[in-house]
Structure 1
Amino acid sequence: MFLVTDSYDQTEGIVTPEDCVETVLGIEIADESDRVDDMRQLAKLLMKQKRRKRETDTV
């Protein structure tokens, strides 16, 4: 596991060996604890839902 910092030594995140393998292979590795296969797709879906809710709340 690696700790990622910026040029000001502020913590940006953590990189796991799984992250490295996924990047090299270009695939998403799903294991038994993952509830969602594609986190990027889920994040996009949740953002769209939030945006729609905000638009309907302001009208």
Structure 2
Amino acid sequence: MIQTCIDSGKGDELQMEAANITKNVWPEQHRSVPWVIINGVSLKSFQAQMYDLPRYLCD
């Protein structure tokens, strides 16, 4: 399945879509990878949450 995605060009399409979303985040541009975006909002303060996303999202 992964190889099919790569060979069909779908992988490139999905990567470009993700890049465009990341490039256009608001209000702060990403500074590293991965960069957490929650509800379409990008804040440096969210980045510490990436280490415990299940707790942050579910509590």
- TM-score above 0.5: no
Question: Normalising by structure 2, what TM-score?
Answer: 0.35
Which has the larger share of helix?
2
Which has the larger share of strand?
1
Structure (1 or 2) with the larger CA radius of gyration: 1
